[in-house]
Amino acid sequence: DIQLTQSPSFLSASVGDRVTITCRASQGISSYLVWYQQKPGKAPKVLIYAASILQSGVPSRFSGSGSGTEFSLTISSLQPEDFATYYCQQYNGYPPTFGPGTKLDIK
């Protein structure tokens, strides 16, 4: 199975900050990576798919990049509603696997 790691595990930031979360895959997955946002008690929500394509309805302050084994999610200017946990997931094949998550909280 393809393993995903995320860094950092926890991130404290302020409204207006620019933040970047990294996801690394144990083997190459081309651009088959998706980023989800999850708030407490809620289901995950797709932000970015195919590593860099913004899901319809997601604010443009979210962006994704990368291919192969290294990927990143950037939030250009944090808003209060962005404080949540972020997961990457690879979909190069079965089984799909998730990163362990990055919890973003308010400094």
Binding site for another protein (CB under 8 A): 32, 34, 36, 42-46, 49, 55, 87, 89, 91-101
Tokens 């620019």 found at: 18
Smallest distance, another protein to C-beta of residue 36, A: 8
Nearest alpha-carbon partner for 66 in 51, 81, 79, 53: 51
Smallest distance, another protein to C-beta of residue 14, A: 25
Smallest distance, another protein to C-beta of residue 35, A: 10
Nearer to another protein, 19 or 99 (CB): 99
Q: Tell me the residue type at 102.
A: T
The Cα–Cα gap between 31 and 8 comes to 21
Distance spanning both ends of the chain, measured CA to CA: 36
Nearer to another protein, 1 or 70 (CB): 1
Task: Name, in order, each residue with C-beta under 8 angstroms of 100's C-beta and a sequence gap of 6 or more.
Answer: 4, 5, 6, 9
Nearer to another protein, 60 or 94 (CB): 94
Nearer to another protein, 59 or 96 (CB): 96
